Amino acid sequence: MRLKSFIVFFKTKAIITVFFLFSTTVFAQKVVRYDLYVKDTLVHFAGKEKRAIAVNGQIPMPTLTFTEGDTAEIHVHNQLKEETSLHWHGLFLPNKEDGVPNLTQMPIRPNTTHIYRFPIIQNGTHWYHSHSGLQEQIGMYGNFVMLKRPNDPSFRKGIDDLPTLPIVLSEWTNLKPENIHRMLHNANDYPALKKNSVQSYGEAISAGHFKTKLLNEWKRMLAMDVSDVYYEKIFMNGKPSSELKSISGNELKGGDKVRLRISNGGASSYFWLTYAGGKITVVANDGNDVEPVEVDRLIIAVSETYDIIVNIPADKTAYEFLATTEDRTNSASIYIGIGIKQLKSSLPRLKYFEGMKMMNDMMKMNGELDDMGMAMSLNQMDMNVVMYPEITGDAKPKQDDNDPNRYNANALGDIVTLNYAMLKSPTITALPKEAPVKELYFKLSGNMNRYVWSLDNKVVSEADKILIKKGENIRIILYNGSMMRHPMHLHGHDFRLLNGQGQNAPLKNIVDVMPMETDTLEFNANIEGDWFFHCHILYHMMSGMGRVLSYENQMPNPLIPNPKLAQRKLFADDRKFHFMAENDFATNGNDGMAMLQNTRWSIGSEWRIGHHVFHGYEIETHIGRYIGRMQWLMPFVGFDWRYRKFGIDEQETNLFGQSNSKDLRSLFTVGVNYTLPLLIIGQAEIYQDGNIRFQLIREDIPITKRLRMSFMLNTDKEYMAGFRYIVNKNMGITSHYDSDMGFGAGITFSY
Amino acid sequence: MKSIKLLMAMALMLSISTCFAEIKNAKVETVHIYGNCSICKKTIESAANVKDIVQVEWNKDTKMAILTYDEKKTNQDEILKRIGLAGYDSDKFLAPDNVYAKLEPCCQYERTGKIVAKIEDVKTVILTVEEKVVTPILTIKIQGEQLKEVFDSYFAVKDALVKTDGNLAATKAASLLNSINAVKMESLTKDEHAEWMKVMKDLVFDAEHISETKDAGHQRDHFTYLSKNMYSVMKVSKQETPTYYQFCPMANKGKGANWLSKENIVKNPYYGSKMMGCGKTVETIN
Ligand SMILES: [Cu+2]
Ligand SMILES: [Cu+2]
């Protein structure tokens, strides 16, 4: 990858030896120092020159390596024009070193240096990333490796002494991440178009799934994919494809084993990991050793880490290690060994309509999910298998609807897929028995249509901190009542995931919870502070999917001089309004709308400007608040202004016989929007002059991949129907018929 | 006459220009791609071609392909990788085994590019090195390794039957035969040797039968006995990682049948995808 800025690598290791005069033994404490220079850069990753952030001139950020017992001293020099921060993912450290801006420290201001300093008291594969805004998406991720001391009793021969390569996975998009975030909140289906996953009525009909699509919309669902964002490139260590021919000077040959330390630094992508040279042996997860387990493939959730061992079966051959996005649209490879490249077969395209059918079965009319009596947990049942041709075949699934194994990939397919129940810690991980237990229950909640993600239907800024006491055993039960999977991450602690392995439950700091799954995790509260617990999908986190766990009666954090200000800045993330606008320049007039929306509020204006006064000018403005978890209901207040030249004696009457003859109208209004089955929005409105209006609107019915249909009718005897052909993400060609303005055709610009 | 010639020349020029006008920054290369017939040709070319960017012409007699591509937009590796993923080896890429296996029978070209895992070579090296250090523990380990080949070949047969792939099962059974014959009995432990003598003839018999047919049903009949005998050897042989003895009550016409697996997850070799999860682990052999 070509970076514009010059590559400089700064690393100094300072060894400070401290002598304890009163002790006969000599302690050597090693301070390992890294200097990180964070700087704007231009990259050319996918055909266009785009802004990114490089650290020490590179993307990903440099791999930081320590040995357990060292002290880390990391100097972060912020040379950006904006604030930044670095979070040490999965590390045990004092709260003020955790790197969450406005929670554990104030942001690192431009042109200043911040020093993180903490002892390394654990070992394993971890990573680090920016916790500020959306910087993680554009380059701020890197490996963070902590080695075992050679005399560590947990040192595993044949594992910990293998040649090793750290790999950080990531994605790249040419769109600005702020723009992606905005588009997600506006249910823009452009990413689906790029991924060929629009799932329109036309495509449904030709796949024999018209009823499926109709039922899906009847249940008020928009077409879903397993991921939301379209990425142009996937990287392993910053490259879509690379070769691993030697490790620390030793050439790789047939019979060698290689350990890969893999972190998923992607902002929103899960990856399937597969290998052309045979089985994959999993030896650690989230930086904690597990009993070796052989599998054919595994999925790595956003921000998880896995240590795996792969064999090189023969000489003169390089074997492809492949990371494929969960939606299977893109992948990155690394060829391990020297010689002709043995490929791994790529994962076949998802059977989207089978997925839609599965969702229909699960979704109740009230928007709740129904697991139909299957207690699901630990990724053992993967509902998405109905979409995987390599597990359920190319055509319709042959499993019957009552087969208890119909979502169990390991029972259906001829390959072994890792799930959490297969992870077993080599050591006993039980918590202190005498400690009091505090149980917390969270329902992961969300609304795909409006891209609202929350816990118990509350975002960070709407909920209080959760108080816990030092010494308590905290047990957290998570139920995912939303339609997407969420990788939930706890800062500062490892938790045990209760997975049926008893005393040897694996230690983790991320748990991926699939829709309708319930998972239980527990940890001993042993280090005070304010610790973030959140979904690690960047765009979910920024929408407010998280909580702060706060120790009671803790010492004030010296890096947060003004807690009130810090909190306000922290809350600003999910309170943010997202803007969208659209205008149709048509032969019969000009109509459009602009809208500002956040988690609960919507401020929007719609206008219609005819080409002459008989067609009229009109602008309606509504301020509304979304109610309930599904946000189907929105009461609003508004203001309506209209000018239209009537002829003499001409007047308008609505269906209720109420009439209106004024050329100029300006009226206040109150009303309510409600989303009906088939995603039709019903609107009831009463104006200050007593006039009443009912209206039905449905916009953007997907007819084909690129063709959308809309219609509207109301009790003022107005109606409209139209088509829009999507040219690109900002432009469409439209034609519509409008009761006021007649037939027209034009071009729509949208933002 | 003149005008006809002119017309033809013009048409020719036109066709040439339209041919080449499609791909900008064109680079032309000739590469070797394995394959047999005209079905191969179709598969190779449709996997490789991208409108306005890549045009590939493969000759089934010479096995050579002419790649014409837009240098600014793609490269040879990308094209050959796509061809590889469609099942065809080149000098740079080997197709995935499962994709190759799904090619039409007439397309199953000879895979001379593929290097067979030379685990034996590596092992002999280990043997010569370790023979110098004669300690009982090490010799046992080496002997375990001897049978390991046999067990690994057995697992390959089992995996093929899990996939209900009679072709693959036959080839894997043939290599099982080889590894059975390669066992040096003098280097087995006493227990291993005793057990080996008892079952070796039957192992050979069943492996032979599996290798001689492509009918998975017939193979499965023999696999029942093969598994039983393999189990009795496995019981007395020390291996590095555990093996799981699994049982399906429905197999063997309802009499039930066993098999051995490296994974503690049931993948039924008697039914494959028909009843993949049927059965359970009845014993863990350490
Ligand atoms: Cu993180
Ligand atoms: Cu999430």
Put simply, the answer to whether B119 touches A412 (Cβ < 8 Å) is no
Chain A interface test: which of B81, B145, B159 (most A C-beta within 10 Å): B81
A466 compared with B139, residue with greater pLDDT = A466
Closest by Cβ to B118, choosing from A294, A315, A411: A315
Distance from CA of B242 to the nearest CA of A (A): 11
What pairs with residue A16 in β-bridges? A29
Put simply, the answer to whether B276 touches A413 (Cβ < 8 Å) is yes
Exposure string over A616-649, b if 16+ CB within 10 A, otherwise e: bbbbbbbebebeebbbbebebebebebebeeeee
Predicted confidence at residue A397, as pLDDT, reads: 54
Put simply, the answer to whether B118 touches A314 (Cβ < 8 Å) is yes
Please name which ligand lies nearest the alpha carbon of A444: 2
pLDDT exceeds 60 at position B139: no
Q: What percent of chain A has pLDDT over 90?
A: 45
Q: Which residues of A touch B92 (CB under 8 A)?
A: 340-341
What pairs with residue A623 in β-bridges? A603, A637
In a domain, B182, yes or no: yes
Enter the DSSP assignment of B121.
H
Q: Which residues are placed with Cβ below 5 angstroms of ligand 1, an ion?
A: A 89, 303
Q: What is the ipTM of this complex?
A: 0.78
Residue A336: pLDDT band (50, 70, 90) is: very high
Chain A interface test: which of B265, B284, B286 (most A C-beta within 10 Å): B265
Ligand 1 center to residue A179 CA distance, Å? 22
Task: Output Rg (C-alpha) for chain A, integer angstroms.
Answer: 28
Distance from CA of B161 to the nearest CA of A (A): 10
Token pair 């080149």: residue: B90
Predicted confidence at residue A437, as pLDDT, reads: 93
Put simply, the answer to whether B99 touches A411 (Cβ < 8 Å) is no
Distance from CA of A272 to the nearest CA of B (A): 17
Put simply, the answer to whether B117 touches A314 (Cβ < 8 Å) is yes
Do both B86 and B153 map to the same domain? Answer: no
CB of A630 closer than 8 Å to CB of A615: no
Q: Which residues of B touch A410 (CB under 8 A)?
A: 265, 267, 277
pLDDT exceeds 50 at position A344: yes
Residue A60: pLDDT band (50, 70, 90) is: very high
Chain B interface test: which of A414, A416, A422 (most B C-beta within 10 Å): A414
Ligand 1 center to residue A89 CA distance, Å? 5
Do both B218 and B175 map to the same domain? Answer: yes
Predicted confidence at residue A398, as pLDDT, reads: 53
Predicted confidence at residue A172, as pLDDT, reads: 95
Among chain B residues, CA nearest to A339: B92
Structural domain boundaries in chain A: 234-342, 578-750
CB–CB contacts below 8 A, A to B: 73
Residue B127: pLDDT band (50, 70, 90) is: very low
Do both B51 and B126 map to the same domain? Answer: no
Predicted confidence at residue A13, as pLDDT, reads: 43
Predicted confidence at residue B134, as pLDDT, reads: 33
Predicted confidence at residue A15, as pLDDT, reads: 40
Put simply, the answer to whether A316 touches B115 (Cβ < 8 Å) is yes
Closest by Cβ to A313, choosing from B117, B262, B273: B117
CB of A694 closer than 8 Å to CB of A684: yes
- The domain spanning residue B76 has which CATH number? 3.30.70.100
A288 compared with A404, residue with greater pLDDT = A288
Q: Which residues of A touch B47 (CB under 8 A)?
A: none
Residue B37 domain boundaries: 2-107
Please name which ligand lies nearest the alpha carbon of A129: 1
Do both B127 and B96 map to the same domain? Answer: no
pLDDT exceeds 80 at position A19: no
Measure CA A285 to chain center: 20
Residue A134 makes CB contacts below 8 A (sequence gap 6+) with: A177, A178, A180, A181, A267, A538, A542
Do both B101 and B142 map to the same domain? Answer: no
Predicted confidence at residue A365, as pLDDT, reads: 73
Predicted confidence at residue A401, as pLDDT, reads: 59
Sheet bearing A437-447, strands edge to edge: A452-455, A437-447, A473-480, A518-524, A495-497, A507-508
B150 compared with B135, residue with greater pLDDT = B150
Distance from CA of A303 to the nearest CA of B (A): 28
In a domain, B244, yes or no: no
pLDDT exceeds 50 at position B130: no
A413 compared with B12, residue with greater pLDDT = A413
Domain boundary among B196, B223, B238: B238
The two structure tokens encoding residue A62: 């440099």
Please tell me the total count of domains within chain B. Answer: 2
Domain boundary among B62, B84, B107: B107
Mean pLDDT of A259-275: 95
Residue A612: pLDDT band (50, 70, 90) is: confident
Among chain B residues, CA nearest to A313: B117
CA distance A48 to A64: 30
- Reported as a single tens digit per residue, the pLDDT across B151-162 is 988 999 999 998
Do both B96 and B139 map to the same domain? Answer: no
Task: Output Rg (C-alpha) for chain B, integer angstroms.
Answer: 27
Mean pLDDT of A157-162: 91
pLDDT exceeds 90 at position A272: yes
Predicted confidence at residue B8, as pLDDT, reads: 60
Ligand 2 center to residue A533 CA distance, Å? 12
Predicted confidence at residue A26, as pLDDT, reads: 41
In a domain, B282, yes or no: no
Ligand 2 center to residue B153 CA distance, Å? 44
Q: List the single range of A131-140, A169-178, A567-576, B221-230 with lowest mean pLDDT.
A: A567-576
Among chain B residues, CA nearest to A242: B77
Do both B101 and B127 map to the same domain? Answer: no
CA angle at A732 for the pair A731 and A735, rounded to the nearest 5° = 150
Predicted confidence at residue B141, as pLDDT, reads: 40
pLDDT exceeds 60 at position A399: no
CA distance A416 to A422: 11
A429 compared with A223, residue with greater pLDDT = A429
- Reported as a single tens digit per residue, the pLDDT across B206-218 is 998 998 888 888 8
- Reported as a single tens digit per residue, the pLDDT across B26-54 is 889 899 999 888 888 999 999 999 888 89
- Reported as a single tens digit per residue, the pLDDT across B87-104 is 999 989 999 988 888 888
pLDDT exceeds 60 at position A248: yes
Single-letter code of the amino acid located at A211: K
Chain A interface test: which of B78, B88, B94, B241 (most A C-beta within 10 Å): B94
B27 φ, ψ to 5°? -125, 135
Domain boundary among B107, B140, B162: B107
Do both B87 and B186 map to the same domain? Answer: no
In a domain, B15, yes or no: yes
Task: State the CB neighbour count (10 A cutoff) for residue A605.
Answer: 17
CB of B198 closer than 8 Å to CB of B228: no
B126 compared with A712, residue with greater pLDDT = A712
In a domain, B179, yes or no: yes
**CATH number, domain A578-750:** 2.40.160
Mean pLDDT of A572-597: 83
Ligand 1 center to residue A498 CA distance, Å? 22
Put simply, the answer to whether A313 touches B119 (Cβ < 8 Å) is yes
- Reported as a single tens digit per residue, the pLDDT across B140-152 is 344 456 788 889 8
Mean pLDDT of A701-710: 86
CA distance A72 to A90: 15
Q: What percent of chain A has pLDDT over 70?
A: 91
Q: Which residues are placed with Cβ below 5 angstroms of ligand 2, an ion?
A: A 486, 535, 537, 540
Do both B102 and B130 map to the same domain? Answer: no
Mean pLDDT over the full length of chain A: 86
Q: What are the percentages of helix, strand and coil residues in chain B, rounded to 5?
A: 55, 15, 30
**CATH number, domain A234-342:** 2.60.40.420
CB of A240 closer than 8 Å to CB of A171: no
Helix axes B190-212, B136-162, angle to 10 degrees: 20
CA distance A566 to A568: 5
Q: List the single range of A282-291, A553-562, B245-254 with lowest mean pLDDT.
A: B245-254
Residue A394: pLDDT band (50, 70, 90) is: low
Among chain B residues, CA nearest to A317: B115
Q: Which residues of B touch A339 (CB under 8 A)?
A: 115
Q: What percent of chain B has pLDDT over 90?
A: 20
Residue A409 makes CB contacts below 8 A (sequence gap 6+) with: A382, A385, A388, A391, A417
Mean pLDDT of A356-373: 73
Do both B74 and B14 map to the same domain? Answer: yes
Predicted confidence at residue B131, as pLDDT, reads: 34
Ligand 1 center to residue A43 CA distance, Å? 24
Among chain A residues, CA nearest to B272: A414
Mean pLDDT of B157-186: 86
First vs last C-alpha separation in chain B: 89
Q: Which residues of A touch B266 (CB under 8 A)?
A: 411
Ligand 2 center to residue A455 CA distance, Å? 10
Please name which ligand lies nearest the alpha carbon of A533: 1
Ligand 2 center to residue A534 CA distance, Å? 8
- Reported as a single tens digit per residue, the pLDDT across A189-242 is 777 777 777 788 888 888 888 888 888 888 777 777 777 788 999 999 999 999
Do both B208 and B138 map to the same domain? Answer: yes
Put simply, the answer to whether B273 touches A412 (Cβ < 8 Å) is yes
pLDDT exceeds 60 at position B70: yes
Mean pLDDT of A457-461: 90
Distance from CA of B140 to the nearest CA of A (A): 19
Residue A600: pLDDT band (50, 70, 90) is: confident
Do both B57 and B143 map to the same domain? Answer: no
- The domain spanning residue B207 has which CATH number? 1.20.120
Predicted confidence at residue A115, as pLDDT, reads: 96
Ligand 2 center to residue A126 CA distance, Å? 20
